[in-house]
Amino acid sequence: MYQYNNEALYIAGPECFYQNGYELWWAQRKLAEYYGIPVVLPTSTELKLNNSDLRLNAKEIFDDLIFQVGKTTAIIADLEFFRGSEPDGGTIFEMGWIWQKGGRVYGYTRDKRLMAEKNQLAYLCNGEIIDQDKRVLPYSDLPFCPSIMASSKIIEGDFKDALKLYLLDLEEERKGHETKSRVVPEQKRILNRVYIASSKRYNSNYDIYKEKVREEYKNAGYEAVFPGDLLVEFNSEDPLRKAQLVFENNMSLLLSSSYIVADLNNFHGFEPNNDVSFECGVAWGRGIKCFGFMDDTRIMKERIPHYPEDKGGRDWCGNVVENFNLPINLMFSTYFHIVQGTTSEVLRILADK
C-alpha cells in the first residue's frame, strides 16, 4: 500500500457527542491508515481533563486542537444535521480553519437533497418556502449553506466514500494532475475594519440592519463590513455558481478585516448558522481578533434540553450535552470574547480597548 507520509487527515463531526462515538472515530481512523493515510484527531493526545474549573478543560482540548490542525493537510467532515436542521457548528468551524490554511476539505452526508426538500420544519406559504423562524428559507436551492458548498467537495454517502474521493485526488496528483485546493492568499488587513458575521444576511430587512450597525460602528471609529457588501449582479442562474461568487466575496471582506463580530445565536436548531461558523474558523485560523454575541449566554447545560443526570443527562437524540461551563461549543468559547446582547455590546468592548 502506498504511504502518503506527507499527508495528515483530520476527521471531524459530532461523533464525540454520540454514544460509542469514539469507537466510530477510531474505526474511521484505522480505515484511513489501512489506505496509507496518517490521521490526526482531537483524541490523538492523552489529555488531563481534571481541572475543577471546567473552562480550563475546554482550553486544554482546544490548545491541543491547535497543535493537531497545524499538522493537518485535509479534513473529512460528517455533515449530518445536529440538534436541528444544520450540521454541527464546531465541525463547520474546523472546516473553515483548515480551508484557510490551504487544506483539502471534504464532507459527507446521507442526504444531499436541497435544503427545501430536507428541512422538515420548512413549509409553503403564499408560494414561498418559509423556515422555522418565519423567513424565506435560506439557501433553499442548495444542500448546505454557500460557505460549505463553495469550499468543499461533498459526497452523498459515508466516511468511506469521502475517503475514496480523497484518495482519488491524491492519485491524480501523483500522475501530475492538479486537484489540490488553491492556496488562500494573505490579504492586507484594514485597520479597524470589522466583519459582521450574522445569519441576518438572510432576513428581508438585512439592508436596514446593515446601515444601522454600520453607522453605529462608524461613529465609534470602526468600519463595519457585511457579507454581500461587494456583490454585483450575478451572471449565472446556477445556484452553485452563485454560492461560489457569494463565498469569494465574503472571504475577501473577512480576510481584509482586523476583527470578526459573530452572531452565535441558534439557527434552525441549537447550533449557530453554518456560514457564521465557517467564517469564525477562517478568522481564528488567520489570527483575526474574534468576538461573538448571543441573546442567551447561559451555559450549554442550561440552554439545551436534556434528560436529568440520573437518566444519563443526554439530549433527546442521545447526544452528550457539552459541559465546560461555557455558553456554546468550545471552538467558539475558548478564545472568542462572547457577550450577551448584540453588536452594540461588542462595540462597547472594542471602544474600551
Question: Which stretches of 279-352 are assigned E, i.e. beta strand?
Answer: 289-294, 337-340
What DSSP state is assigned to residue 183? P
Average pLDDT for residues 153-171, to the nearest whole number? 97
Mean of pLDDT values over 63-78 = 94
Beta strands per DSSP E along 199-321:
223-225, 259-263, 289-294
pLDDT beyond 90 at 143: yes
pLDDT at 50: 87
Region 197-224: mean pLDDT is 97
For range 193-219, the mean pLDDT: 97
Q: Which ranges of 101-179 does DSSP label H, i.e. alpha helix? A: 115-118, 146-151, 159-174
CATH number for the domain running over 9-174: 3.40.50.450
Residue 266: pLDDT band (50, 70, 90) is: very high
Tell me the average pLDDT across 44-66.
88
Cell of 180: 489540490
What are phi and psi for residue 25, nearest 5 degrees? -55, -45
Region of residue 7 (phi > 0: left; psi between -120 and 50: alpha; otherwise: beta): beta
DSSP-derived letter for residue 153 is: E
CATH code: domain 193-352 is 3.40.50.450
3-state secondary structure at position 187: coil
pLDDT at 228 over 80: yes
Examine the pLDDT at 43 and tell me if it is beyond 80.
no
Please determine whether the domains at 9-174 and 193-352 fall in the same fold group of CATH.
yes
What residue segments make up the domains of the chain, in order of their start? 9-174, 193-352
pLDDT at 7 over 90: yes
Query: What pTM does this model have?
Result: 0.96
Reported as a pLDDT band with limits 50, 70 and 90, residue 180 is confident
Q: What is the mean pLDDT of residues 277-285?
A: 98
